[in-house]
Structure 1
Amino acid sequence: MLFLIELWESVRDFIATGGDVLYIVAAALFVMWVLMIERYWFLVSGYPVIFKKMVTDWDARTDTNSWYAHRIREAWISQASDKLSERMLLIKTLVAMCPLIGLLGTVTGMISVFEVMAVTGTGNPRLMAGGISMATIPTMAGMVAALSGVFFSSRLEAKVKMLKEELIDSMPHH
């Protein structure tokens, strides 16, 4: 229990040092990870059922050569592709937004530095240091959030692409 209290205090101190923009970075990071976990869960549990049904339905067809059969195959592949690609654009957008939100923290931190300089002049470096840390910490947090998202979203995208190709190969047209 003491560990959790100390952890909460260190997080609270970090946010106090970096400013309120860190709440926005944390919210974007949370949403991004919820969406990525949902996509991984779908690829493991939901998509195999869809894949098996489509391949079984295609194999059960007597006509796989006609123009109509080819259009049906393309429609099924397109539907599966849409289900696989759901929320991928939103995930990539959140990954791209994290550094930008961090830059917003940089701007707000620099504004506080300039406010301190306007009130006290440039003679008090201790007061300016608080604003400078408020300017750099959100940028760092946004970059770290984006880096974690870039790695896993690119892996997720590669998995989606591989599954699409596997579906295409599993429904041969003659």
Structure 2
Amino acid sequence: MHAVLDLLLRPFSSVSALIGAGGWVLPWIFATALIMWTLIAERWWYFHRIFPAQRAALHAQWRARDDHRSWSARQIRAMLVSQVRVAMDAPLPLLRVTVPIAPLLGLLGTVTGMLEVFDGMMISGSADARTMAYGVSHAMIATLSGLVVSVSGMFFLSRFQARVERETESFGDLLEF
């Protein structure tokens, strides 16, 4: 039973060890990753579950109109297309902010890790390899973590932006005059 519990807790102890090795900046990078991945999951859910029904309802609303050619009908059509675009694009600005924040936090971890190296060298009065390795490892773990979070988010952000453009054009074409 104790072995099973250790096996289940191993990922948590690994993350705890990584945070300890990466310095105080790593919890902030993980918080940024949590926010970013929550937004990614929400957009995925929206595009696969909510958007098809929303698009069908707005298309039915347009088809129910008798007038498709007047100036007011064109304005209503533009409003429907805009409404779809705003709904698809709503959380993407926050996702656009979280993606570049992660490497900047990693850079902050790099700077603080290098400051630890310099402090250790100043205290010992020499370039002790052990002291330098500790600070450099803090710096590299923070940098790597920030880059991993950012690169994984960039992929999904570009996919969502392309989908917003594609679906906006497709919905505009669906609402014929």
Band of TM-score, shorter chain: over 0.9
Q: Which of these residues, 16, 21, 27, is aligned with residue 25 of structure 2? A: 21
Partner of 2:66: 62
* Residue 134 (str. 1) matches residue 152 (str. 2): no
1:23-172 matches, cutoff 5 A: 23-172=27-176
- The two structures, once aligned, show a CA RMSD in angstroms of 1.2
Q: Following superposition, which runs of at least 4 residues in structure 1 exceed 6 angstroms of deviation?
A: none
Q: Distance in 1 between matches of 2:135 and 2:127?
A: 15
1:64 partner amino acid: H
Question: What per-residue deviation string (whole Å, max 9, x for no partner) do you get for residues 95-118 of structure 1?
Answer: 111111100100111111111111
Flag structure 2 segments of 5+ consecutive residues without an equivalent: none
Shift of 1:13: 1.6
Q: How many residues align?
A: 173
Deviations 1:61-114 (A, max 9, x none): 111001111011101111111001011111021111111110010011111111
- SS of corresponding position for 1:20: coil
Alpha-carbon distance in 2 for matches of 1:44, 1:154: 17
Contiguous gaps of at least 5 residues in structure 1: none
